[in-house]
Structure formats: structure tokens, C-alpha cells
Amino acid sequence: AQKITQTQPGMFVQEKEAVTLDCTYDTSDPSYGLFWYKQPSSGEMIFLIYQGSYDQQNATEGRYSLNFQKARKSANLVISASQLGDSAMYFCAMREGGNTDKLIFGTGTRLQVFP
Amino acid sequence: DTEVTQTPKHLVMGMTNKKSLKCEQHMGHRAMYWYKQKAKKPPELMFVYSYEKLSINESVPSRFSPECPNSSLLNLHLHALQPEDSALYLCASSQGMENNEQFFGPGTRLTVL
């Protein structure tokens, strides 16, 4: 079974609008962490936001927020006020339990922002 | 200094060549990683070094040989590669605590002819 599922291969959004990128995960470990990364066409993976399984509040970092619904095992990324520079591949990833070194990545969502 | 650097940016090699990829970080991170990423796929973990010792090898073929000379440097030695090994090779580093993100370098685009 997939540990991390991103069901949207591609998304389009108009500049200045908000967009939600979906991510669901599967783990039986009560301790885990969820990460979102952005990968522009240049190739570098850029860390955006982190949510720990015990965090009571949804994580926010500037225009990025994470809609964490633990019972549904979902960790959707919300980008507000989209910019042309947000066009990139977005990966959701999970770290399970005490293994702090291994990240499991989803298949990614390609976001395209149009004027 | 909050970046991970990788050299070279691009590498083309033949199947009989020996080459090395280099990665450097000066953030004092205790963990360093090699990932392989094929086009339109997520990164796949290859190796993890923790405190300069190999802690994870994801069953990578022996034609890939990692080396961690010190806490700031990570190398990936390549020998007798196959065309299917052509990919983007990403290096990352992390403090290694539960909520610590991995910082990635820009990658080396490898083409094996």
C-alpha cells in the first residue's frame, strides 16, 4: 500500500488565487512527521512546511499552510495568493516513528500558475 | 551558510568510466543523504550517513559507492554505470531531529552513455 498518496498529477490556478494540493498518508505509528517540498524545474528541493503528528495546531509559513486532519490522515497544502513563481512540482513526504532519517515521498503534483 | 552545494552540475560518462559526485554542507548537520530522482518521479533514498558512518543503504548496487570523508563532505563514487542510472542525483543534509527538515542541494544531472 502507498504510504503517501498525492492524487492530483497536475493542478492549474490563476495568479492571486488560493490552491489546495492534496496529500493522504498511511501509518500505524503514532509518532510521525509530514513535510512539503517544492521542486522548480531547476531541480532543487525546497522545504516549505512541517507538521508533527502531535502538533495541536495547523502549521503555517507565510503563504503556505497545512490543513492537517489527523482522523482522515490527510495533510493538504494550501497556497494563498498564488504567484507565477509558485509553478513547480510539489511533493508531500512523511517521516515515520523514531526513524528520523528516512523520508517517504509521494508522487508529486505539478502546479501551474497562470496570469 | 544555509546551503548544500553539489558538484558537478552536469556529468556525462561512459559505462566504463569512473567518476565522483561531491556534496558539501557547512551547517553542522549530523546526517547526510544521497537520493536518485528519475524524470517525473519522486526522489528515492539511496544512502544515509549519520555522524560520518553509513546508517542506511537502500540496497543500492555496488557500482555506487558512497564516502563521507568528514562531517561536511559526502561523495558518491560511480563505476561501470548503466544507461538506466541516468538521473538527477540529489544530496541533502539534516540536523536529524524529528522536526528537522532535510536541506537539499541543486543536484547533479547524470547521463550515462
Q: What is the 3-state secondary structure (H, E, C) of B32-88?
A: EEEEEECCCCCCEEEEEEECCEEEEECCCCCCEEEEEEECCEEEEEEECCCHHHCEE
- Mean pLDDT rounded to a whole number for chain A: 94
Interchain proximity A105–B103, CB inside 8 Å: no
Cβ of B109 within 8 Å of Cβ of A43? The answer is yes
First to last CA, chain B: 36
Confidence of residue A102 (pLDDT cuts 50, 70, 90): confident
Distances (CA, A) of A92 to A3, A81, B99, B107: 11, 20, 15, 19
Instruction: Note whether B104 contacts A46, CB cutoff 8 Å.
Output: yes
pLDDT digits (tens, 9 = 90+) for A80-89: 999 999 999 9
> Looking at the predicted structure, is the pLDDT value of residue A93 above 80?
yes
B103 Cβ under 8 Å from any chain A Cβ: yes
Q: Please give the full DSSP string across A69-107, using - where no structure is assigned.
A: ETTTTEEEEEE-S--GGG-EEEEEEEEETT-TT-EEE--
Model pLDDT for residues A34-75, shown as the tens digit of each residue: 999 999 998 999 999 999 999 999 999 999 999 999 999 999
The C-alpha of A35 sits at a distance from chain B's nearest C-alpha, in angstroms, of: 8
Give yes or no for residue B24 having a pLDDT over 90. yes
Instruction: Dump pLDDT digits (tens) for B31-48.
Output: 999 999 999 999 999 999
